[in-house]
Chain A
C-alpha cells in the first residue's frame, strides 16, 4: 500500500499551471429539433485539449485563436465543426444522430467510439435496462445483448444470476466474466463472502451503462482474466454546469411463486400408500399442501435518494439506496443500505481531472433454510403442520425429513456484509505535449462479513445435537494501474494514432474464519488466501483515412498462482476494421452505415479456485474428530494424534489459453433507423484447466486441476435495432437479438483416448450419482443416461433399457451421452413504445435446444419414495402415477425433457407528469408474467440443467414512483 500512496502523492505534486491570453468567443448550443438549449455539450478546439462545456442554458464561452476549429459534440448528436473567423458569436444547432455512431464506448484502459470500434463490443445503456424492482445489477441486461446469457439462480431474496458471455471458455476454472467497475477489476470469485450475489454491492439505480467486451481482440488487454469476456460497468456521475437536482424513487413490490413441484395430494397419496401395504392408521387427517405452507408473498421496497450538482470545474453525485426484499420462502430476507458517491474535479484548464468514486454498502441476509423446499416436497400430505398437542408434526425416524415449517421457524441464519468499493482516478494531459495523457487508477474493494447460523437438532433423533456456527471473513482487493496515452491525428499520412502503454498491479486477500459446533464436534478454522497479478499492457490503434482501422494490443501478466517458470503469460490481440461506408463508391448506397470487422486474440485464465496449486503443501487435520489413536497413556486412556497430510500438486500448472477469432458486419439502413450487427466467432481453449483424475499413483490426490484438455466453441450473434416510429407524440423502437452457439470438448486427457470421460453433475437419490458427462466430442453439459424402453402404450417399462453394447446385460456400459443443458440458441426481444406521456416496454427472453433432467421426478416419482423409506413414509412426485415405477430409475432418459421456453420477462407501463418544478414518473411493472414451454417441471430455466429442489422464481409486481426536482 505504501507504494500506492507514494505514487498517488507524486501525481498530486506535479500539478503544473499554465495560462495563455487569447480572444474570446461565446454562443449557445441548441437542439435543432426543438430549439431547446442543450447543457453539458462539449465545445473544444480541434487538435488541442482546450475546451469547455455548455452551461444549463446552453451557453459557452471559449478562448480561441483565429483560424482554429471549434468542435461541438454531444452524446447522441452529430458532431459539428466550425472554423473560427473572429465571429462574435458562434451558435450551433445540433442534429440528433439516430444511430449514435459517435457514442463513446470504453474498451479497457481507454475508450473509442462506436464507429471506430473494431472488436465485438456492445453497450447497454440505462434507457435500455430492464425495469422493475431489480436488486441484482446483472438482471438489468438480461436479454439485452446478443451472446450474453444471464440465468438467475432462483427466486431467493437478493439472488443474483450467472453471467455467461459466449458460453464461457473453461471447464473447471471459472466461467464468470471479468467485471470492471469504474476501472477497478472485481474479484472473479465475487469479492465478498456470505452473499447470494456479490454484485449486489452495486446499486442498479446507480449504473450508467454496461459495456460488454465479447471477443478476444477486445478483451486481450485484460489478458489473463479475459477468456470469459469482460463487462465494464460505469456508474453515474454528475455533469458539469448542472443545477442542483434531487431525485427520489420508490419501487414497491410483491413477489409470489408461479409454480410448484407436482406432488401427490392427500387422497392420491393415501390410495397409493394403502395399495402398497401402508397401514392406514399411519395417515393423518389433513390434506396439506406443504409447498403452500412454506411460500408466502414477499414484500419489497427499494428507495433511492440522489442529489447531484455540477459547477464549472467540479461536479458530484450522492445517492442513498435502501433495499428490502422478502421471501418467497418464509423468513427469507435481504436488506441493503448503500451510500454511493462520485466527485469529479477538473484543474488546470481541464488538463487534470480527478475522479473519486466511493461506495459504502451494508448487505444483510436472513437466509431461510433451503432444505425446507425438499422437505415440503417429501412430507406426508395427510399430516397437518401441528399435531393435536400443538407441536410440530414429525415423522419420528432419524432419516425422515423434518417438518419444513419447523425447519424454517427454528433455523436462524444471518450474514451481514459491509463493503467499500472506492476508486480514485487521475487523468492528466501533459502541458508540453497536449496529445499525451497520463492516467492513474487506484482502487480498493474491501468487504467484511460476519454471520451465524443456528440450526435445530434433528427433531426425529432424540440424541441429535443442534448446530451453531459463526463465520466471518474479509476480502480485500487492491489495485493500482497507470497508463500513458498518446493520441494524434497525423495529417501527413491521414492517420489518427492512438497509443496506450501501462502497468497494473492487483492483489487479492481473502480470509475466512469458522467456528462451528454440533454437540462435542467443534471445528474452528481459518483460511487465508492471497494472490496477486502484475501486468504490462500496450495498445496501438490506427485510423487511416477514416476508412481503415487497425488495432493491436498486448498484455503480459504474471500470476502468483504459478511457479516462477510458468508465471508470465503473453496475450496479444489484433483487429481490423473497414468503414466501407466511407468509401467513395458507397456515396449513393442503399446503406447508411456499413462496416466490416475482424479480430484475433489470445486470452488467459488463471481463476482456478486455488492459490498454491503448484506448491506441495501439508495440511494438519482441522478439527478434533480426525485424530487417530496411537497407544494409551499411563491411565489407560487412548492417546490421539493429529494427522498431517501432504497435498497433491502440479508444479507445472500454467495459464489456460483461449484463442478467439471474430468476424463481424455492422450495418445501418434508412438513415440508420435500422441498424444491426452480425458477429461470428470461433474460440479454442487450450491447456484447459480441468479438474480431472490423476493417473493413479502419480500424485497425492485423485483429482487435480491441471492443464489437460481443449474445448472449442463457435457461434453467431445477430442483433437488430429499429426505430419504427419517431414522432413528437409517438415513438416505437425495438431490439431483437439472437445467439446461436455450440460448444464441444475436444480433448480431456493427456492420452487422447477418445473414450475417456468424466462423470459430472451430481444428483440426489443415492449418494455419488452423476447425470452428466464430460467427453471429447460433446458439450460439457451433456447428459449421460440409459435409453428407456417403452411398452406398446408408450409407458416406460421399469428397469428396461436399450442394451447398447449388446452384451445381454444392462450395465454401466450401456449409458449413453444424450442431449444437453445448454441451449443451441437464445433470444431477447425488447419493444419500447411512447405515446405522449405514456410509455410501455416489454422484454421477451427465450431459449431453444436446451434440456433439463427432472431430478425431483426421478428421485421421488416412484412407490419406494412412499413405502421404501427407513422407518417412515413420505410423499412421491406425481409422475409415479404415469410411470408406475416401484423404485428409482435415476438414469433413465425419460427424465430428460425438452426445456425450450419463451418468457415474458418484463413488462412496464409508465406515465410522466411534467409539473412545473417537479417531474414525476409513475410506473407499473410485472416480471415473469408467463412462460411458454413444454417442460412440465418447475421451471425450464435452470443453470446446470438439473432440477432439484430449485428455489422457484417469483412473479413480481412493482409500483414505481420517481420524483425529480
Chain B
C-alpha cells in the first residue's frame, strides 16, 4: 500500500516534471523566434530613428553636398560611398576633373593606374574603370538626392511631427537637393548623353532603371531648375558652401550654351538671359592677382567675391584623397618644391601639353607698346646681356605705374641684367646677397640672371624688391627641369607642369593640415569669369546681348590677368577662336575643357595635341568619342540600356 502510494506519487511527479519540461521547451522555442528581429545597436540608425533628430535633415543635405567633395563617411578614407574602385579615386570632383581635363590638351597623367592613360589617349573602352566609376558616382549622387526627396515629403514630415519652422527650412533644402540632382544630371547628360533615369518616384532596390534620351533629360533639367528658382535662396544670401539661385541659373546657362550639342537646337538667347540675371547680383572680378583665386585662403582673400558656386574643402575637417588633395598633389613633381604648394610632397602625375602652353604665346605682343600703355615712361630701365641692347645700352625703359614703382615689358634672351637710372651706372641695382629675399635689390649688387622669354618686370623702389612675372598672370606653368614636349607619358619631366592650385595663403603660409596631406582650397565650380566668357560666346553665336558689353567683360578678366590694361582687347579681337582659347587660359584645370572643345567641334575628329589618339604627336579620333560609353558593367546588368554609338 505504502509502496504503491510511493510509486504512484513518484509516477505523478515524473509526469508533472515531464509536462513542465515540455512546456518549458515550447516556451523557450517561442522566445527564440522573437530574437530574430534585430536592429542595429551602434551608430547606424533605421530611417525612422535617424529622423527623430531634427538635425538629421541638415546632415542629410550636407551629405549631398559632400557627395562632390568627399568619398565616404570617414575622412580622409574609410567607409566609402562606392566600393568598386579605390576610395580616393572614386571621388566625384576628382573623376569629373579627369573626364574634363585628362581627355584634352590641358592635362596628361603619367600614372599606371588601370586604364587611366587611356583617357588622354582617347582610346578608352566601355570597360574603363574611371569612366565606369564616374558614371556610378553620378548615379549614386542622384539616388542620394532622390532619397532625400522621399524622406522629406509632406506625408513623411507629417508622420514625424516636424515643427513648422523646420518645415520651412526643409522646403529650401528640397530645392537645393533638386538643384544638386539637376547639376549631376547635367554632368551625366554632358558625358554619357543617355544615362539611366531615376527620380524620387522610383524605389530603392532590385529594379532596372529606364534609360532617358539626351533631349528628354535636357527638358527635365531645364524644367527642374526653372521650377526651383523661386525656392532657392537669393544669390549670395545662402550659407557659404550651399547653392543659391545664381548657381541654378548658372547651370541653366550651361545647358543653354551647349543646347545645340545636347538637343540639336540652339538656345543662345536664353544664355544671355540667365547670365544677365547672375551678373546683376553683385558678383565682381576682384582686382587681385589671378593666382589668389586658387590658394588656401580663397574663401576669404577676396577671390570669393567672384564665386557663384564653391565646393569647400578644409585641411582638417573636410578630408578626402580626391578633390583638392588630388588637384594640389598630383601636378607636383620634378624639381618643384612641395613647400611652395603647402604640401608634404608631390604625386608626380599631371602635366600639360605644349598645345596648352602655346595658348600663352605672345606673337602679336609688342613689349614697347605694352609698356607705353601702362603708364608714363620713366628714366628707370633695364640693361644687360639678357636685354635686346646688351650691356652697351641704351636702357629698355620702364613705365611709372605708381609712386616709385616702375614696370615694363621686355623680351629677354638667356643672360643677365640690372636696373639702371637714366642710362648711367651711378644709380643701379643688382641682387642683394645679404637679404634672405631672393628678389631684394642693392646698389651695385650682382647681376640678375634672366631666362629667354617675354616678361613683365616690376621694380619697387619703396621696398627695393623686383619681380619678373609672366605677361599673362594666368600662365602658371613650371618649366624648370621639365621638357616642353611629351616624349613619354610616364615620366613627370615630360611636359610642363602646372602650378595653379597651391595650399598656401597669399602670404605663403601653408594650410591648416600640418601633415601637408589635405588642403584648404575651395574649388570654384562656377565663377563670374566663366559667366562673362559665356556671355561673350552667346553674343558671338547670335544670342543677342551687346558686343561692347562682352568686350568690357573680357577686358575685366584680362586686366586681372595682366595686372593692368596691357592685355585688353578690342571688338575686332572678339571672335569664337579667341573665346575658346581665352576660356582655356582663364579656366584651365577647372573642369570645363572637354565640354568646351566639344561645343567648338575640336575634341575628337578635329584638334590635335600630343598623345591624343595614343600616338606621341597626336592624331584625331573618331567623333563618337564626344560621348563617353555607357560602362559595360551596367549594360551587362541593366537590359534597359543601349550603348552609345561607336562603342
A residues near B (Cβ < 8 Å) are: 3, 6-7, 10-11, 13-14, 16, 397-399, 461, 463-465, 480, 482, 503, 505, 507, 518-521, 523, 525-534, 558-560, 564, 567, 611-612, 615-632, 636, 638-652, 691-703, 706, 749-751, 753, 755-759, 765-770, 809, 811-813, 864, 868, 870-871, 887-888, 890
B14 contacts A by Cβ under 8 Å: yes
* C-alpha spacing A751/B492, complex, angstroms: 44
* C-alpha spacing A750/B318, complex, angstroms: 38
25 contacts across the A-B interface (CB closer than 8 A): A503-B29, A507-B35, A530-B41, A618-B46, A624-B317, A627-B75, A628-B62, A629-B318, A640-B317, A643-B73, A644-B50, A644-B56, A645-B144, A646-B147, A650-B205, A652-B205, A693-B633, A696-B638, A697-B209, A749-B636, A750-B208, A753-B636, A767-B86, A768-B85, A811-B115
- Least distance between B162 CB and chain A CB atoms (Å): 16
Once the chains bind, are A14 and B85 in contact (CB under 8 Å)?
no
Question: What bracket does the count of chain B residues touching chain A fall in?
Answer: 35 or more
Once the chains bind, are A14 and B21 in contact (CB under 8 Å)?
yes
* C-alpha spacing A530/B338, complex, angstroms: 48
Once the chains bind, are A701 and B28 in contact (CB under 8 Å)?
no
* C-alpha spacing A417/B312, complex, angstroms: 44
* C-alpha spacing A846/B151, complex, angstroms: 58
Once the chains bind, are A464 and B63 in contact (CB under 8 Å)?
no
* Known contacts A558-B36, A887-B490; A628 and B113 CB within 8 A of each other: no
Residues of B within 8 A of A11 (CB): 21
Name which residue of chain A comes closest to B27, CB basis. A3
* Known contacts A14-B21, A695-B638, A697-B143; A706 and B206 CB within 8 A of each other: yes
* C-alpha spacing A109/B83, complex, angstroms: 41
Once the chains bind, are B208 and A523 in contact (CB under 8 Å)?
no
Residues of B within 8 A of A521 (CB): 75-76, 316, 319
Once the chains bind, are A766 and B47 in contact (CB under 8 Å)?
no
* C-alpha spacing A812/B73, complex, angstroms: 32
Once the chains bind, are B205 and A696 in contact (CB under 8 Å)?
no
Residues of A within 8 A of B41 (CB): 528, 530
- Least distance between A596 CB and chain B CB atoms (Å): 39
Once the chains bind, are B142 and A697 in contact (CB under 8 Å)?
yes
B401 contacts A by Cβ under 8 Å: no
Once the chains bind, are A701 and B81 in contact (CB under 8 Å)?
yes
- Least distance between A650 CB and chain B CB atoms (Å): 6
Which of B33, B74, B82, B197 touches A623 (beta carbons < 8 Å)?
B74
Contact stretch, chosen from B345-353, B541-549, B579-587:
B345-353
- Least distance between B320 CB and chain A CB atoms (Å): 8
Give 9 nearest A-B pairs by CB, closest first.
A625-B75, A631-B239, A756-B636, A398-B345, A644-B59, A696-B139, A626-B75, A618-B50, A766-B113
* C-alpha spacing A618/B151, complex, angstroms: 12
Residues of B within 8 A of A691 (CB): 83
Once the chains bind, are A695 and B348 in contact (CB under 8 Å)?
no
Type the 1/0 row for B499-533, where 1 means its CB is closer than 8 Å to any CB of A.
00000000000000111101000000000000000
* C-alpha spacing A703/B312, complex, angstroms: 28
Contact stretch, chosen from B121-129, B152-160, B597-605:
B121-129
Most chain B CB inside 10 Å of its own CB: which residue of A615, A698, A759: A698
B84 contacts A by Cβ under 8 Å: yes
- Least distance between B299 CB and chain A CB atoms (Å): 8
Residues of B within 8 A of A813 (CB): 125, 127
Which of B25, B209, B318 touches A503 (beta carbons < 8 Å)?
B25
Once the chains bind, are B25 and A768 in contact (CB under 8 Å)?
no
Name which residue of chain B comes closest to A639, CB basis. B239
* C-alpha spacing A811/B118, complex, angstroms: 8
Name which residue of chain A comes closest to B310, CB basis. A629
Once the chains bind, are A697 and B139 in contact (CB under 8 Å)?
yes
Once the chains bind, are A631 and B21 in contact (CB under 8 Å)?
no
Once the chains bind, are B118 and A812 in contact (CB under 8 Å)?
yes
* Known contacts A463-B515, A618-B44, A650-B206; A558 and B33 CB within 8 A of each other: yes
* C-alpha spacing A618/B123, complex, angstroms: 40
Residues of A within 8 A of B242 (CB): 630-631
Once the chains bind, are A615 and B39 in contact (CB under 8 Å)?
yes
Once the chains bind, are A864 and B490 in contact (CB under 8 Å)?
yes
Name which residue of chain A comes closest to B29, CB basis. A503
B43 contacts A by Cβ under 8 Å: yes
* C-alpha spacing A890/B18, complex, angstroms: 70
- Least distance between A478 CB and chain B CB atoms (Å): 11
B360 contacts A by Cβ under 8 Å: no
B614 contacts A by Cβ under 8 Å: yes
Once the chains bind, are A520 and B316 in contact (CB under 8 Å)?
yes
* Known contacts A14-B21, A644-B56; A612 and B44 CB within 8 A of each other: yes
Residues of A within 8 A of B111 (CB): 766-767
- Least distance between B47 CB and chain A CB atoms (Å): 6
* C-alpha spacing A694/B84, complex, angstroms: 10
* C-alpha spacing A13/B24, complex, angstroms: 13
Once the chains bind, are B112 and A765 in contact (CB under 8 Å)?
yes
Name which residue of chain B comes closest to A457, CB basis. B515
Contact stretch, chosen from B64-72, B363-371, B430-438, B455-463:
B64-72
Once the chains bind, are A626 and B70 in contact (CB under 8 Å)?
yes
* C-alpha spacing A648/B198, complex, angstroms: 15
- Least distance between A770 CB and chain B CB atoms (Å): 8
* C-alpha spacing A649/B318, complex, angstroms: 27
Residues of A within 8 A of B32 (CB): 503, 505, 532, 534
* C-alpha spacing A13/B21, complex, angstroms: 10
Once the chains bind, are B123 and A6 in contact (CB under 8 Å)?
no
Type the 1/0 row for B107-118, where 1 means its CB is closer than 8 Å to any CB of A.
000011111101
Name which residue of chain A comes closest to B346, CB basis. A870
Which of A701, A769, A870 touches B82 (beta carbons < 8 Å)?
A701
* C-alpha spacing A751/B635, complex, angstroms: 9
B12 contacts A by Cβ under 8 Å: no
Once the chains bind, are B312 and A628 in contact (CB under 8 Å)?
yes
Once the chains bind, are A530 and B38 in contact (CB under 8 Å)?
yes
Most chain A CB inside 10 Å of its own CB: which residue of B88, B205, B344, B492: B205
* Known contacts A644-B56, A768-B85, A870-B347; A617 and B38 CB within 8 A of each other: no
Residues of B within 8 A of A623 (CB): 74-75, 78
Which of B62, B81, B124, B348 touches A870 (beta carbons < 8 Å)?
B348
Once the chains bind, are A625 and B144 in contact (CB under 8 Å)?
no
- Least distance between A482 CB and chain B CB atoms (Å): 7
Other A-B pairs, 8, CB within 8 Å; known A753-B636, A766-B112: A3-B27, A3-B28, A6-B24, A480-B28, A616-B47, A626-B72, A638-B317, A697-B198
* C-alpha spacing A617/B41, complex, angstroms: 12
* C-alpha spacing A636/B56, complex, angstroms: 24
* C-alpha spacing A518/B514, complex, angstroms: 11
- Least distance between B343 CB and chain A CB atoms (Å): 9
* Known contacts A14-B18, A521-B75; A630 and B62 CB within 8 A of each other: yes
- For window 125-152 of chain B, which residues contact chain A by CB distance below 8 Å? 125, 127-129, 133, 135-136, 139-140, 142-144, 147, 151
Residues of B within 8 A of A644 (CB): 50, 56, 59-60, 62-63
Residues of A within 8 A of B45 (CB): 617-620
* Known contacts A519-B514, A649-B205, A751-B638; A461 and B344 CB within 8 A of each other: yes
B397 contacts A by Cβ under 8 Å: no
* C-alpha spacing A644/B45, complex, angstroms: 10
* C-alpha spacing A868/B60, complex, angstroms: 44
Once the chains bind, are A527 and B42 in contact (CB under 8 Å)?
yes
B79 contacts A by Cβ under 8 Å: yes
Which of A465, A642, A890 touches B515 (beta carbons < 8 Å)?
A465
Once the chains bind, are B637 and A749 in contact (CB under 8 Å)?
yes
B204 contacts A by Cβ under 8 Å: yes
- Least distance between A804 CB and chain B CB atoms (Å): 12
Name which residue of chain A comes closest to B647, CB basis. A813
Once the chains bind, are B113 and A769 in contact (CB under 8 Å)?
yes
* C-alpha spacing A7/B197, complex, angstroms: 57
Name which residue of chain A comes closest to B210, CB basis. A697
Name which residue of chain B comes closest to A751, CB basis. B639
Residues of A within 8 A of B113 (CB): 766-769
Residues of A within 8 A of B631 (CB): 696
B634 contacts A by Cβ under 8 Å: yes
B241 contacts A by Cβ under 8 Å: yes
